[in-house]
Amino acid sequence: MSAPRRLLYSLAAAVLAAAVPTVADAQSDPAQVSSSGLQISQVRSGLVAAPDIRVTEVNGKQATLAGGYLGWLTDKRLLIGGAGYVLANRADDFRMQYGGGLVRWTFFADRPVAISTGVFAGFGTATIARPYGDLFDLPTAPAASAPAGRGPNGRIRFGTSPSADTPVRIHDDFTMAEPQLNIVWSITPWLRLDAGAGYRFIGNADLTERQLRGPSGSLALQFGAK
């Protein structure tokens, strides 16, 4: 074998020997950064579920809503799912429940504390009490021991018309949209504390829109999607 050929084989063997460790390292490392700055990493996605408590005001009263959300979290950033809530401290004239779709985007998702923003929109039903006069813009009658149209116990007497301050029960359907801003604290890779605030906008409810809309605060535990 000539000297030039031996030199060529020697150079090829040296290049191959240097390349083998590099290939092995690339196969063992799921995230690679080339000299040009190109980075390749695995997209982590999965299902998340979160029981949620919301504190708000409904019809001028403090209200607690119990519920939660369920969705698919892509790359720890984009959450698409659904949510539903029901008034916990409910009575015959103090009921509300609603549900719909949820879309959220998380900033600084790789940090222990992240910021998430999005919107929850859907529809629901409510039953609340309002003074009869508020519904028809009637003047409120002066205070009296037994207002006109009522018996001694305050109930409306049969065959009489309610006065302006007589409470009447209203059942109404509505649509809603609630923009949200949340802070998400990663306690473990699969458990996060999700605390936020939002404002509930109400539509298609002429008689109850003002009584059902308002700000809310929420606290949830989010499970899943490492």
Specify the residue for token string 């240097």.
18
Q: What are the C-alpha distances in Å from 177 to residues 117, 119, 154, 202? A: 14, 7, 38, 7
Cα distance between residue 204 and residue 142, in whole Å: 33
Task: Report which secondary-structure segment, H or E, holds 76.
Answer: none
- For the entire predicted model, the pTM comes to 0.72
Q: What are the C-alpha distances in Å from 102 to residues 32, 53, 89, 158? A: 34, 16, 24, 47
CB distance 17 to 10 below 8 Å: no
CB distance 50 to 221 below 8 Å: yes
Cα distance between residue 177 and residue 101, in whole Å: 10
Q: What is the pLDDT along the chain (226 residues), one digit of tens a residue?
A: 554 445 444 544 543 444 444 334 444 444 555 556 666 666 678 999 999 999 999 999 999 999 999 999 999 899 999 999 999 998 889 999 999 999 999 999 999 999 999 999 999 999 999 888 777 666 655 444 445 455 444 455 555 667 777 888 999 999 999 999 999 999 999 999 999 999 999 999 988 999 999 999 999 999 997 7
Report residue 103 as tokens.
């879309």
Name 131's bridge partners.
167
Longest dimension (CA), the chain: 123
Q: What are the C-alpha distances in Å from 191 to residues 12, 141, 182, 221? A: 52, 56, 15, 7
